Structure 1
Amino acid sequence: MALLAEKPLSYALRENARVISALVVRSAVTRFGESRLGFVWILIEPAAYIGIFLLIHAGMKAQIPFGDNALLFILAGVFGFRMTRGISRKTERAISNNQPMLTYPLVRPLDTIIATFLLESTIWLIICALFMWGLAISLDRDVIVYPGEFTECMFAILYFAFSYAAFNAMAGSLIPRYDTFMSMVSMPLMLLSGVFFMPAEMPPSFQAVLWWNPFMHCVEWFRTSTYLDYNALLSKSYLLGLSTALLTSALILERVFRSRIISA
C-alpha cells in the first residue's frame, strides 16, 4: 500500500522536474539566442558599473569609506545589490515571458519562476566567482576572508531574490502598473543600499530609514565576508524573515488566483 501511495508523488515530482528543465532551456535560448555575445554583455555590464563608480570616485578624490582598496569596496557593494536585483528582476518577469506556456496543463506559474531563477542564479554566481577570483589575483590576497560567512550570504541573497521575485511576479500579474512602480523604485533602492557608503557611519536617523531596505542587508552581509573587521548595519533575521513572509504571500497568491494569473 505504501508503494502505491508513493508512486503518484514520485511520478508528479519527475514530471515537474521535466517541465522545469524544459523551461530552463527555453529561458536560456530566449536569453542568449544563438549568439555568444549575450553572455559577454552580462560580464561587461557589472564591469561597466564598477568602472563608472571608480571613475567618479577618482574624479571626486573621495576617500574610501572603508578598507584600503576602492575596487574591493565598490565590487562588494555592486555585487551585493546588483546580483540580488539582477536575479530578482529577470525572475519576476518569468510569468509574462512564458505566458504562452501556461496554456499547457502541466505548466504552472510557479514553474516558470523557478526555471528562470535557476538560470539567472547560475549566471550571476559564475559572474561573481569570476570577478572575485580576478580581484584576488590582482591584489595577490584572499578577498573572501570568511568563506563560511560568504556561503551563508550567497544562500541568503538567493533566498531573498527568489522570494522577492515570486511576490512581485504574482502581484504584477494581479495589479495594473505594479511592474512600472517597481522599476521606478529600483534606483532609490540602490542608492539606499550602501553601495557607495558605510551605513553604520550614517546618522542614527538615517540608519533607521536604511534598516528597512532589504537590499542594504544583502550588501552589508556581502561585505562582512570580505573584510576582517567590517562594522555592518546588518540584521540577518530581518532579511530572512522578510524573505519568508514574501515567499509565503507569493505562494498564497499563486494558489488563490492561479486562474487569473494564467489568463492575465
Structure 2
Amino acid sequence: MALVADKPLNYALRENMRVVSALVVRSAISRFGESRFGFVWILLEPAFYIGVYIMAHTVMRASMPFGDSAVLFILAGIFGFRMSRGVARKAETAIAHNLPLLTYPLVRPMDTIVSAFLLEATIWLIICALFILGLSYALDRTIIAYPGELTTCLLAIFFFAFATATFNATVGALVPRYMMFVNMLNMPLMFISGVFFLPSSFPPELQWYISWNPFLHCVEWFRMATYLDYHPVLDKSYLLAVSTILLTVGLTLERLLRNRIINA
C-alpha cells in the first residue's frame, strides 16, 4: 500500500522537475539566445559601478571607507546588494512574463518563479566567482577571509532573494502597478544599503533606522566574510526572519489565489 501511495507523489515530483527544467532552458534562451553579448553586459554592470565609485573617490580625494582597497570595498557591497536584489528582480517578473504558459495544467505560477530564480542565482554565482578570482589575482592575495561565512552568507542572500521574489511576484500579479512601485525603489535601496558607505561609521541612532532595511544586512554579511576585522551593522536573525515571513505570505497567497493569478 505504501508503494502505491508513494507512486503518485514521485510521479508528480518528476513531472514538476521536468517543467522547471524546461522553464529554465526557456528563460536562458530568451535571456541570451538573441544576443551573444547578454552575459558580457551582466559582467559590465558591476564593473560600471566600481569604475564610477573609484572615479568619484579619486576626484574627491576621499579617505578609504575601510581596508586598503576601494575596489574590494565596493565590490563586496555591490555583490551583497546585487545578488539579492538582482536575482529577486528577475524572478519576481516570472509570472507576468509567462502568463500564456500558465494555461497549461502542468505549469503553476511557482514553477515560473523557481525556474527564473535558479537561472539568475547561477548567473550571479558565476559572476561573483569571476570577480573574486580576478581581484584576488590582481591584488595577489586571498580576498575572502572566511570562506565558510561566505557560503552561509550566499545561502542567506539567495533565501532572501527567493522569498522577496515569491512575495513580489504574487502580490504584483494581484495588485496593478505594484511592480512599478517596487522598481522605483531599486536605486534608492542601493544607496541606503551600505554599498557606497560604511554603516558602522554612522551614529547609533541612524544605524538603528537603516538596520530596518534587510538589503543592508546582505551587504554587511558579505563584507564580514571578506574582511578579517570588519565590524558590521548586522542582524542575521532579522534577515532570516524577514525572508521567512515574505516566503510564507507569498506561498500562501499563491496557493489560495492561484486561479486569480493565472487569470490576471
Q: Same fold (TM over 0.5)?
A: yes
1:68-217 matches, cutoff 5 A: 68-217=68-217
- Give the aligned residue type for 1:132: I
Distance 2:190 2:35 in 1: 31
Could you say what secondary structure the match of 2:226 adopts? coil
Corresponding residue for 2:18? 18
**Corresponding residue of 1:53:** 53
How far 1:35 moved relative to its partner? 2.8
Q: Counterpart of 2:207 in structure 1: which amino acid? A: Q
Inter-partner Cα distance in structure 2 for 1:155 and 1:53: 27
Give the counterpart letter for 2:167 in structure 1: F
* Alignment match, 1:248: 248
What is the rounded CA distance, in whole Å, between the counterparts of 2:260 and 2:7 in structure 1? 31
Alpha-carbon RMSD across the aligned residues, in angstroms, is 0.7
CA–CA distance in structure 1, aligned partners of residues 30 and 171 of structure 2: 24
The amino acid of 1:230's aligned partner reads Y
Distance 2:205 2:177 in 1: 32
The amino acid across from 2:188 in the alignment is P
The TM-score with structure 2 as length reference comes to 0.99
CA distance in 2, matches of 1:9, 1:151: 32
Cα displacement (A) at 1:256: 0.9
Task: Tell me which amino acid in the other structure corresponds to 2:249.
Answer: S
Alpha-carbon separation, structure 2, partners of 1:57 and 1:90: 31
What is the count of residue pairs matched by the alignment?
264
Alignment partner, residue 41 of structure 1: 41
CA distance in 1, matches of 2:156, 2:18: 27
Find the aligned partners of 1:43 and 1:208 in 2 and give their Cα distance.
34
Query: Residue 50 of structure 1: CA displacement?
Result: 1.1
For residues 211 and 45 of structure 1, what CA distance do their matches in structure 2 show?
Answer: 26
- What is aligned with 1:229? 229
Deviations 1:139-169 (A, max 9, x none): 1111011000000000000000000011000
CA distance in 2, matches of 1:61, 1:100: 53
Structure 2 CA distance for aligned equivalents of residues 196 and 135 of structure 1: 18
2:27 is aligned to: 27
1:103 alignment partner AA: T
Which residue identity lines up with residue 238 of structure 2 in the other structure?
Answer: Y
Give the whole-Å Cα distance in 1 for the aligned partners of 2:156 and 2:53: 26
Matching residue of 2:261:
261
For 2:197 and 2:66, locate their aligned partners in 1 and report how far apart those are by CA, in whole Å.
8
Distance 1:211 1:114 in 2: 29
Helix, strand or coil: the match of 1:225?
Answer: helix
Q: Shift of the alpha carbon at 1:201?
A: 1.3
Looking at structure 2, the residues matched to 15 and 82 of structure 1 have their Cα atoms a distance apart, in angstroms, of 32
Amino acid at match of 2:256: V
Distance across 2 between alignment mates of 1:34 and 1:89: 21
- The amino acid of 1:226's aligned partner reads T
Structure 2 unmatched runs, 5+? none
Q: Secondary structure at the match of 2:76?
A: helix
Normalising by structure 1, we get a TM-score of: 0.99
Q: 4+ runs of 1 displaced by more than 6 Å?
A: none
